[in-house]
Amino acid sequence: MTPKQTILAILLLTLSITCIGCIENTQADPDTTINARSVEEYDLAAANNAFAFDLYSELQDGSDENLLISPYSIFTAMAICYEGAEGTTHQQMAEVLYYPLDKSILRIAAKDYIDTVNRDSNDYELETANALWLREDQRLVADYEKNIEEYYNGNVEKLDFEGRPEESARVVNEWVEEQTNNKIKDLINGQSFDGYTKLVVTNAIYFNGKWKEEFMEHRTSEETFYLSGGEKIQTDMMYAIRKFSYGETPETKILELPYKGDDLSMYIVLPNDNDIEALENNFNSHDYEKLKREMDEEHEVNIWLPKFKFQTKKELSSPLISMGLTDAFTEFGLSGITEETDLTISEVIHQASIDVQEKGTEAAAATAVEAVDCAMVDEPIIKEFRADHPFIFFIEDKRTGCILFMGKVEHPEYDEITAK
């Protein structure tokens, strides 16, 4: 690949979840995703969630490290690129990201969901935003610009990427910081801009919510957490006993922790044995949905959950190519964005952080895409949910069923960025 054939996609996030390993996914129904004939037929949440499990499967590398992504952030940033995709790139993006081939359907579905996310609430903060940063001498295709502004709320601003790269990076980074409540800093490095950089697309999502019923701080105590390799560490473990929505199988337990307002929840999936890899290798979106359907609120549950706060960083271009998104990285298939040149993608980097405490969760995510010129019982039964070994969790918008963040906790006290 030459320098002219490049888009840089950098994804940053901050939230209260982690990432999964080799999670399998059942194939989404193409009749309700890529072949959907109407907005009513297309299920954006199902498409987003199917992509989430596919990507997690590709990200599994057998390591025992924390991992975190925001499927919704990636899904949305790539949708803005998809709006300008043509030919085989258009087809591949639809197949890999479960977009409808009819772009007008995705536009309406995306706008409906953006409006849902940005709906004001007194109970929590949840906002998403999109922006496009265009090189001064470039012009967006009129229809593309109109659709991005109308359906993705994407504002357009011009920058001098070539002449003033550091200043351009500062402007983009300040926007990201503002949208994520200063949780994501220095997303873009001015050194990534060169004479071929024509466009940067940014997406940000921010969430700050309190638990519907907070954990009492005086009940938090230092307890043992068993790592995947058998080592033991001491960590702050939150404790509560109350009625939770709970389910179990011979291999797994699932627990719902609702946030105040009941629009969003965290779901924790805990293997009964300390073998997170076995769970990941045999857990898919169908299993996840089935576990949720079988949950009930009949029993009181003793819950021990570690406080955790960490950051992760992943390079996503190789996983996306492995999933079938080849032409977007090698051909000139993004031909419907700027009038002067066709664009393609070179790199996708995803960085995330998470903070879960007694009061609740704060999360933020940002995605930047740089495009360059290519030219029930009688007696109460108390259940026990002791998350003292690695587990998977999801933050989900219950209004739509869309997974906003998903991840895995391998080490609850890990608190520095790692890049691979």
The answer on pLDDT for 83 being more than 50 is yes
CA nearest to 323, candidates 40, 44, 60, 17: 60
Q: Which residue has the tokens 């706060």?
A: 309
| Percentage of residues in the chain having pLDDT higher than 90 | 54
Kindly report the number of other CB atoms within 10 A of residue 309's CB atom. Answer: 16
Based on the number of CB atoms within 10 Å of its own CB, is 71 exposed (0-12), middle (13-18) or buried (19 or more)?
Answer: buried
Kindly list the strands in the beta sheet with 391-397, ordered across the sheet, starting from the edge strand earlier in the chain: 67-69, 402-409, 391-397, 264-271, 252-258, 245-248
Whether the predicted pLDDT of 3 surpasses 60:
no
Q: For residues 23 and 279, what is the distance between their CA atoms, to the nearest angstrom? A: 8
- C-alpha 390, offset from chain centre: 20
Q: Which residue, chain included where needed, has tokens 């999964």?
A: 20
Q: pLDDT value at position 62?
A: 67
Alpha helices in 210-297 (DSSP H): 276-281, 285-293
The pair phi, psi for residue 308, each rounded to 5°, is -145, 150
Task: Return mean pLDDT, the chain.
Answer: 84
3-state secondary structure of 364: strand
Number of Cβ within 10 Å of residue 119's Cβ equals: 11
Q: Which of 55-69, 189-203, 246-260 has the highest mean pLDDT?
A: 246-260
pLDDT of 274: 93
Q: With contact defined as beta carbons under 8 Å apart, do 202 and 74 qualify?
A: no
Q: Is the pLDDT assigned to residue 392 strictly greater than 50?
A: yes
Residue 8 has pLDDT above 70, yes or no: no
Structure-token pair, residue 279: 């769970």
Query: What is the value of pTM for the model shown?
Result: 0.86
Q: For residue 30, what pLDDT is reported?
A: 65
pLDDT of 128: 93
Please answer whether residues 320 and 330 qualify as being in contact, where contact means their C-beta atoms are separated by less than 8 angstroms. Answer: no
Q: What percent of the chain has pLDDT over 70?
A: 85
CA distance 7 to 344: 5
pLDDT tens for 296-315 read 987 799 999 999 987 777 77
pLDDT at 14 over 90: no
Give pLDDT, residue 16.
Answer: 28
Query: 217-307+378-409 maps to which CATH number?
Result: 2.30.39.10
What tens digit of pLDDT does each residue of 159-217 get?
998 899 999 999 988 998 898 888 877 778 888 787 777 888 888 888 899 999 999 99
Could you tell me if 385 and 256 are in contact, meaning their C-beta atoms sit under 8 angstroms apart? no
Strand 124-135, strand 154-159: pairing: parallel
230 confidence band (pLDDT: 50, 70, 90): confident
**Closest among 53, 4, 27, 409 to 227, alpha carbons compared:** 409
Q: Report pLDDT for 240.
A: 95
Q: What is the full DSSP assignment across 324-356?
A: T--HHHHS--B-SSBSS--B---EEEEEEEEEE
Each residue of 309-333: pLDDT tens digit?
877 777 788 888 899 988 887 777 8
Question: Pairing between strand 300-306 and 264-271?
Answer: unpaired
Cα–Cα distances in Å, from 8 out to 3, 81, 166, 184, 346? 11, 12, 16, 18, 5
pLDDT at 51 over 70: yes
Question: Could you tell me the residue ranges of all domains in the chain?
Answer: 7-210+309-372, 217-307+378-409
Specify the pLDDT at position 67. Answer: 82
Tokens 């001064």 -> residue = 136
Return the higher-pLDDT residue of 363 and 336. Answer: 336
207 vs 233, which has greater pLDDT? 233
User: Concatenated DSSP letters for 99-150?
Assistant: --SSHHHHHHHHHHHHHHHTS--SSEEEEEEEEEEEETT--B-HHHHHHHHH
* CATH architecture under which domain 7-210+309-372 falls: 2-Layer Sandwich (3.30)
pLDDT at 43 exceeding the cut of 60: yes
pLDDT of residue 363: 72
Query: pLDDT confidence of 370, banded at 50, 70, 90?
Result: low
Q: In angstroms, how far is CA 166 from the centroid of its own chain?
A: 28
pLDDT at 246: 95
